[in-house]
């Protein structure tokens, strides 16, 4: 599943049951992130993914700056039993370029 920035912004506005996970570094996260995103650096995903949200009912959207770290983090979520894991299309780079809200 790949979600466009526009659709993710709409999902946030509608308060849909979706978990957004920023897998970038702490400094990147603190410099601005998608509103409501949880910070979980990609290298910790294998160990801590299971505590992020309900594995069966919530969609999880992962993003980093351009994609590679999010793809690595997906492995951790898959190993933790998540089945509804996808990505933000274009990741944070596209979110900023589209001038969507930043928290």
Give domain status of residue 39, yes or no: yes
Give domain status of residue 50, yes or no: yes
Q: What is the pLDDT of residues 2-51, one digit of tens each?
A: 999 999 999 999 999 899 999 999 999 999 999 999 999 999 988 888 88
Q: What is the pLDDT of residues 59-82, one digit of tens each?
A: 999 999 998 999 999 999 988 888
Element (DSSP H or E) covering residue 19: strand 18-22
Domain range for residue 9? 2-97
Strand 2-3, strand 85-88: pairing: parallel
Domain with residue 11: its CATH number is 3.40.250.10
Give domain status of residue 103, yes or no: no
pLDDT at res. 81: 87
pLDDT at res. 99: 96
- Number of domains the chain is built from: 1
Give domain status of residue 102, yes or no: no
Q: What is the mean pLDDT of residues 86-102?
A: 96
């Amino acid at each position: 599943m790949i979600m466009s920035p526009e659709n993710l912004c709409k999902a946030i506005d509608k308060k849909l049951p979706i978990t957004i996970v920023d897998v970038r570094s702490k400094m990147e996260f603190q410099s601005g992130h998608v509103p409501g995103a949880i910070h979980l650096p990609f290298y910790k995903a294998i160990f801590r993914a299971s505590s992020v949200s309900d594995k069966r009912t919530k969609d999880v959207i992962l993003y980093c700056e351009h994609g590679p770290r999010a793809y690595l983090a997906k492995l951790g979520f898959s190993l933790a039993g998540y089945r509804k894991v996808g990505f933000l299309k274009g990741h944070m780079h596209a979110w900023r370029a589209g001038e969507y809200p930043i928290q």
